[in-house]
A and B are shown apart, each in its own frame.
Chain A
Amino acid sequence: MSSDLNPADLFREEARDLLGEFEEALIGLEAEPGRQDLVDAAFRALHTIKGSGAMFEFTELSGFAHDLESAFVVFRDARIPIGQEAIDLGLRGKDLLGEFIGRLGTTPDEAQQAALTERAQAVVRELQTLVGTEADAGGSSPEAERVLIGDGRSTASVRRSLRISFRPSRNTFKNGTNPLGLLQELADLGELMTVGYSEDIPSLDEITPDLCYLRWDVLITTEADDQEITDVFMFIDGESTLEILPVASGEYRRLGDILVDRGSLSEEKLETLMARRPPLGEMLVQEGVVSEAELRSALEEQRLLAESSEEVRAGRGDTAFIKVPTSRLDRLVNLVGEFVSLQGQLSLSADRLHDRELMSHTEQFERLVRESRELSMEMHMVPVDTLFAPFRRMVRDVARELGKRVQLTIEGTETELDKNMVESLRDPLMHIIRNAIDHGIESEERRREADKPPRGSLHLSASYSGAFVVIRVDDDGGGLDAARIRRRAIERGLIDPEVELGREQIYELLFEPGFSTAEKASRISGRGVGMDVVRRNVEHLNGFVQVSSEEGMGTTVEIRIPLTLAIVEGLLTEIGDAFYLINIAYIRECLDRVPEATQGGRGIIDYRGTVVPLLDLAEVFGVGRSPADAPVVVVIAGDTTVALRLTRIHGNYQSVVKPLGPMFDGVEGISGAVFLPDGTPALMLDIERLVRRTVRSGYRRGGST
Chain B
Amino acid sequence: MPRAKNDPDTKTISIRGDLTIDRVSEIRDEMRSALPAKDLTLDLSQLEKIDLAGLQLLYSLERSVLAEEGTMRVNGDSARDRLIRMVSFTGLRTPTFLESPREQ
Contact = CB atoms under 8 A, between A and B. Distances in A.
A212 interface: yes
Interface in B1-35: 21, 24-25, 27-28, 31-32, 35
A705 to B, nearest CB: 80
Mostly helix, strand, loop or mixed at chain B's interface? helix
A209 B52 contact: no
Interface residues of B, number: 25
Interface string B77-91: 000000000100111
B97 interface: no
A115 B14 CA distance: 66
Contacts of B86: 180
Interface in A154-200: 173-174, 178-180, 183, 193-198
Contacts of A451: none
Contacts of B32: 204-205
Nearest to B91: A194
A293 B90 CA distance: 12
A183 B24 contact: no
Nearest to A206: B60
B90 A216 contact: yes
Interface string B39-54: 0000000000001110
Given A178-B51, A205-B32, A213 B56 contact: yes
A646 to B, nearest CB: 82
Most-contacted residue by chain A among B35, B64, B90 (CB, 10 A): B90
B53 to A, nearest CB: 5
A173 B89 contact: no
A173 B91 CA distance: 19
A207 B31 CA distance: 12
14 contacts: A178-B52, A180-B51, A180-B52, A183-B90, A196-B93, A205-B64, A209-B28, A209-B53, A209-B56, A210-B53, A214-B56, A214-B92, A292-B93, A297-B91
A194 B90 contact: yes
A162 to B, nearest CB: 16
A196 B56 CA distance: 11
Contact of A212 (B35, B56, B64, B91): B56
Contacts of A210: 21, 24-25, 53
Given A194-B89, A210-B24, A201 B31 contact: no
A203 interface: yes
A204 B31 contact: yes
A214 B25 contact: no
A572 to B, nearest CB: 75
Interface string B47-76: 000011100110111011001000000000
A202 B59 CA distance: 9
Contacts of A193: 91
A207 B25 CA distance: 9
A202 B91 CA distance: 19
Contact of A209 (B24, B63, B90, B91): B24
Interface of A: 173-174, 178-180, 183, 193-198, 201-205, 207, 209-210, 212-214, 216, 218, 292-293, 297
B35 to A, nearest CB: 7
A593 to B, nearest CB: 90
Contacts of B24: 209-210
Nearest to B87: A196
A540 B25 CA distance: 88
A179 B90 CA distance: 9
Nearest to A193: B91
Nearest to A192: B91
A498 to B, nearest CB: 90
B28 A204 contact: yes
Nearest to B67: A203
Contacts of A212: 52-53, 56
Nearest to B23: A209
Contacts of B59: 198, 201
A365 to B, nearest CB: 65
Contact of A203 (B63, B91, B92, B93): B63
B28 A202 contact: no
B21 A173 contact: yes
B52 A207 contact: no
Given A173-B21, A194-B91, A210-B21, A201 B56 contact: yes
B91 A195 contact: yes
B52 to A, nearest CB: 5
A173 B60 contact: no
Given A178-B51, A209-B53, 6 more contacts: A196-B91, A197-B92, A204-B32, A205-B32, A212-B53, A214-B90
A198 B63 CA distance: 10
Contact of B92 (A178, A198, A207, A218): A198
Given A204-B60, A205-B32, A205-B64, A214 B93 contact: no
A201 B63 contact: yes
Contacts of B31: 204
Contacts of B67: 203
A216 B31 CA distance: 27
Contacts of A213: 56
Nearest to B61: A204
A203 B60 contact: yes
A630 B76 CA distance: 102
A297 B92 CA distance: 10
A274 to B, nearest CB: 27
- The 5 A-B pairs of least Cβ separation, nearest first, read A194-B91, A209-B24, A196-B92, A203-B64, A196-B91
A209 B57 contact: yes
B1 to A, nearest CB: 17
A266 to B, nearest CB: 24
A294 to B, nearest CB: 11
A59 B56 CA distance: 42
Contacts of B28: 204, 207, 209
A634 B83 CA distance: 85
B90 A196 contact: yes
Nearest to B25: A209
Given A216-B90, A292-B93, A202 B56 contact: no
Nearest to B86: A180
Contacts of A201: 56, 59-60, 63
Most-contacted residue by chain B among A174, A196, A202, A293 (CB, 10 A): A196
A201 B63 CA distance: 8
Contacts of B89: 180, 183, 194
Given A204-B28, A205-B32, A293 B56 contact: no
Contacts of A198: 56, 59, 92-93
Contacts of A195: 91
A176 to B, nearest CB: 9
Contacts of A297: 91
A677 to B, nearest CB: 74
A180 B90 contact: yes
Nearest to A195: B91
A178 B86 CA distance: 13
A210 to B, nearest CB: 6
A330 to B, nearest CB: 52
Contacts of B51: 178, 180
Contacts of A205: 32, 64
